[in-house]
Structure 1
Amino acid sequence: MYLVAGIFGGIAALLLFAALIIVVLRLKSQLIFDIYPAKGLFYQLKYVIALVLVRRLRHRVYHTKDELNSPEYLAQIDRPQSLSDNPQSYDVVSFMGANGRGEKLFLTLERRRRGVLKACIYLYLPELGLYCTPKLPDMLHFTTDGTRENDEFKGCGFHVYPESSMREWRIRYEGELRPESTTGKCLSVHMNLQFTTQAPFFYHNRDLSSAVIADSVAREAWNDAFYNLLKHVPEMVEKRTHYEQSGRLTGEVQLAGRSFELQLSGFRDHSFGTERCLSNINRYVYVALFLSDGTSLMIGNLSQPSFFLSSLKVGYVCTLEGVYEPITSCNFELYSYGEKGTPPRHKNFIVKTAKTKYFVQIEEQQSSVRYVGADWVAKIYNQFVACTVNGIKGQGITEYLYRNKDGERPEAVNATDPEWFRRVKSFERSLSKCEEDESEVFFF
């Protein structure tokens, strides 16, 4: 009798303990600015659980797949991707670079359905200042008449394409650039650059530190919505691919009759899939720094509360030899840097990898604003900066994205869009109001 009672008592105690653990995990942390969860009382317990689960899941998914490094797979992903029938299908390439003289380049091209291209170039030359594509702050360009797709990063003067998988990309632009800080005269430009690298690629789904993912997840409340999301994480991850690569940007830029030979430390990224909705992102900050000793740092913080990642640090340090060291922690918190809508001109923070601690100091030299989306759903500040990391000088570019809650694309800009695009935007608005209309294919 006592044995049976003891067994049942032990079972009851275990059940009670399990119930308490479940209650503890569901507790909601204090929110900073009603968005960013602080580390709660049971953060360490949740962190350990999350770290174990993330490591096991990623090992099972990625470290057993030899094809991720096969030449066939690399050739497949390192080229313009076919856009699917999914209305949010996208394909993006971006390049950043800088050198010790302070010359900097930023270029991004995003392909969307029906030949829509979201594009911009920034060229910073210390003796001349910052130049950009004339249409900025708007980024929408149209490469077809809306009835055909565009299967290249090409159109409106741009042409960016791989010459050798994971080794060489060509960047061409023939058109105009204008001074960013004034309404000055547009200047003709001919840009012919090559991105080259011998470094491997940093695949975010596989190579991002498990520690920073566990840190972000441990701050969240593990409620029913969280557990329901976990069931769909594998399929959601499969719908988005993002990788980056450190290298060199070299070539010639002819601007208004003057020729500039660029030799930049740089990196590129390539993203594609169907899960890229900026309206679900609260904020993000991305920092790319290139140091005089050949080291580069890519550091970011993403806030996407709907995905239970209210404050996810991302990034790595890349050595001169092309070895990536993922960051394991960082005290760069979004609520401390530009939360009110204006990025700070000066930033100091600490980044850690498994091997080294880096003290980062950044000072803005010039900045610019651009808008993303057919209705300017997001506002992006790009800063062109000088930096010091552990006493080593460098140059770089930062990117601050905010939800553009109060603004909208001006009618003067809308009026320059093709008629078919204005019709599609009208159709999208009817969908948001739950009105029935099958006259167009929703794609933004």
Structure 2
Amino acid sequence: MLVWLVLFFTLGFFWCQKTAPRPYFGIYNRPGKWFYLKAIFIYLSIQWRKYQAKQKERSDARGNEQAGYGVSSCKDILSMERAQPLSNHPLAIDAILFSSSGKDGSYLVAAQARRQLRMNNTIFCLRIPSVGVLVHPKHPDTTMFTDCENSWHVEGLQMDLVDPMKKWKLSYQGPMLHQSKGTTHQVTLKAEYTSNFPYFDFDSDMDPWTIAKAMAREPWSKAYFENVRKAHQNHYEQLGEIHGSVKIDAIEYPLNLHVMRDHTHGSIRDWRLMHRYGIQSFTTENGFRGFLGTVCQPGTFSNLELGYVMTSDGQCAPVEEVDLPLWAHGEGGQHPEDFAFRFKAQGIWHEIQVKVLDSVEVFMGWEWEGRVLERFCRYTVDGVPGWGVSEWHFRHRGGRPKELAAKDPEYTQNVAKFPSGDE
């Protein structure tokens, strides 16, 4: 018995002396000696929060101030879908995105992020096979301004809620630039988004063990958990379809697209905190659909795997693992255009190949803190052909050109764009 006790304490002593493995490139944290103990603790905490939320669920569906990490922010879909009031924080956000693609090679990305000072970070680009890629004339800048306080209307692009979780209308009237030729074309978009699918709430529907592993990789401290709390944003997504048409000069083209739509709102979205992410959304010929990827935001989650899949019979399930290490894919700033990886959902590993056909580069934030690439792709998932959009992000430190900032409305020129002491 004494021998076993000595052996136990000796092994325990040497185990405690182990140092944390060095993060990849000094950024991407790796599992340490307490990884599984920490992960189990977080997993149980999430499950406990889920249990408490069910016990305290209110019939009036008011928002939950303790949302996230197993708990939904709200259950009233009208409250969720409509434009959210911005907090007083300079970096408050209320954003929607329509990321869509078709089997015929047509693609459409339309996004608006409502910010303070009536600024909307806006992305609008489309690809028609016989025409090419067209982009908003302000791109690669996304800093646009609106007179509409509580809607997603800016510089010709309008996205309007019709029926919560069922129907939206999208329209655009104005010029667009041909990305490769540099020519200007008059474009009119009239389209309708519809869906009968359930939405996926990232506050409550993500796989608990996946979140637990991501948090367990990080070095813990009081400051760490405070950063996690501050960085939280309410985010949900829904798959659907877009039908309509786009008229380019005098020629009209039909649009029949599969869509990933999302809505994000929160007190803070600080692009300076985000190092990278690589996200893929896809639809295959057999009806299998998904949204998945990896996010690196040092200080909170340096390696967060996330997403969900939708089977052909309408079943939605969270992604459990994404074998797509960002540090091995384009860490130097060049986004990969022909690559493959694996992901796990419903206990099954899937293989996915990605081939980028075209891409559009834009910059987000007052100082262009984020560089985003909307990539129009062909996919092969478990050997089945598919299509979709891949969005990759890189931290950008080159700043926004002064000649663009000088054209911003006068009322924005001398106003703090970031919290005091952060600029």
- TM-score tier (shorter): 0.7 to 0.9
Task: Label 1:27 to 1:249 Cα distance change in 2 as closer, same or farther (>3 A).
Answer: farther
For residue 275 of structure 2, what is the aligned residue in structure 1?
282
For residue 171 of structure 1, what is the aligned residue in structure 2?
170
Match of 2:37 among 31, 45, 61: 45
Identity of aligned residues (%): 25
How many angstroms does 1:382 deviate by? 1.8
How many angstroms does 1:402 deviate by? 1.2
For residue 102 of structure 1, what is the aligned residue in structure 2?
105
For residue 139 of structure 2, what is the aligned residue in structure 1?
136
Task: Label 1:293 to 1:224 Cα distance change in 2 as closer, same or farther (>3 A).
Answer: same
Matches within 5 A, 1:234-249: 237=232, 240-249=233-242
Match of 2:313 among 308, 315, 321: 321
Q: In the aligned structure 1, how far is the partner of 2:382 from the partner of 2:54?
A: 34
Post-superposition CA distance 1:307-352 (Å, at most 9, x none): 2x11001101112333211111121111011111111111211100
Post-superposition CA distance 1:67-102 (Å, at most 9, x none): 569997111111112223332221101001112111
Q: In the aligned structure 1, how far is the partner of 2:92 from the partner of 2:17?
A: 35
For residue 33 of structure 1, what is the aligned residue in structure 2?
25
Matches within 5 A, 1:150-189: 150-182=149-181, 184-189=182-187
How many angstroms does 1:56 deviate by? 2.2
Q: Which is further off, 132-141 or 67-76? A: 67-76
The answer to whether the 8 Å contact 1:203/1:244 transfers is yes
State the structure with more CA Rg: 1
1:89 maps to 2:88: no
The answer to whether the 8 Å contact 1:29/1:219 transfers is no
Q: In the aligned structure 2, how far is the partner of 1:189 from the partner of 1:263?
A: 17
How many angstroms does 1:243 deviate by? 0.3
Task: Label 1:134 to 1:377 Cα distance change in 2 as closer, same or farther (>3 A).
Answer: same
SS of equivalent residue, structure 2 residue 99: strand
How many angstroms does 1:398 deviate by? 1.1
For residue 220 of structure 1, what is the aligned residue in structure 2?
218
Counterpart amino acid of residue 158 in structure 1 = L
Counterpart amino acid of residue 202 in structure 1 = F
> Whose helix proportion is higher, 1 or 2?
1
SS of equivalent residue, structure 1 residue 205: coil
For residue 408 of structure 1, what is the aligned residue in structure 2?
399
For residue 362 of structure 1, what is the aligned residue in structure 2?
354
Q: In the aligned structure 1, how far is the partner of 2:293 from the partner of 2:305?
A: 6
For residue 254 of structure 1, what is the aligned residue in structure 2?
247
Post-superposition CA distance 1:155-199 (Å, at most 9, x none): 3112111110111011111111111124x2211111111110111
How many residues were matched structurally? 403
How many angstroms does 1:45 deviate by? 3.3
The answer to whether the 8 Å contact 2:89/2:419 transfers is no
Unaligned stretches of 5+ residues in structure 1: 1-12, 435-444
How many angstroms does 1:66 deviate by? 6.1
Counterpart amino acid of residue 350 in structure 1 = R
For residue 64 of structure 2, what is the aligned residue in structure 1?
none
Task: Label 1:382 to 1:430 Cα distance change in 2 as closer, same or farther (>3 A).
Answer: closer
SS of equivalent residue, structure 2 residue 37: helix
Match of 1:347 among 312, 318, 339: 339
Counterpart amino acid of residue 97 in structure 2 = S
Counterpart amino acid of residue 176 in structure 2 = L
For residue 7 of structure 1, what is the aligned residue in structure 2?
none
SS of equivalent residue, structure 1 residue 306: coil
Counterpart amino acid of residue 226 in structure 2 = L
Counterpart amino acid of residue 241 in structure 2 = R
For residue 200 of structure 2, what is the aligned residue in structure 1?
202
- The CA RMSD measured in Å over matched residues stands at 2.7
Q: Which is further off, 34-43 or 374-383? A: 34-43
Task: Label 1:24 to 1:379 Cα distance change in 2 as closer, same or farther (>3 A).
Answer: farther
Q: In the aligned structure 1, how far is the partner of 2:94 from the partner of 2:17?
A: 38
Q: Which is further off, 214-223 or 131-140? A: 214-223
SS of equivalent residue, structure 2 residue 31: coil
Q: In the aligned structure 2, how far is the partner of 1:153 from the partner of 1:290?
A: 27
For residue 297 of structure 1, what is the aligned residue in structure 2?
290
Q: Which is further off, 190-199 or 298-307? A: 298-307
Counterpart amino acid of residue 129 in structure 1 = G
Give the TM-score of the pair, scaled to structure 1.
0.84
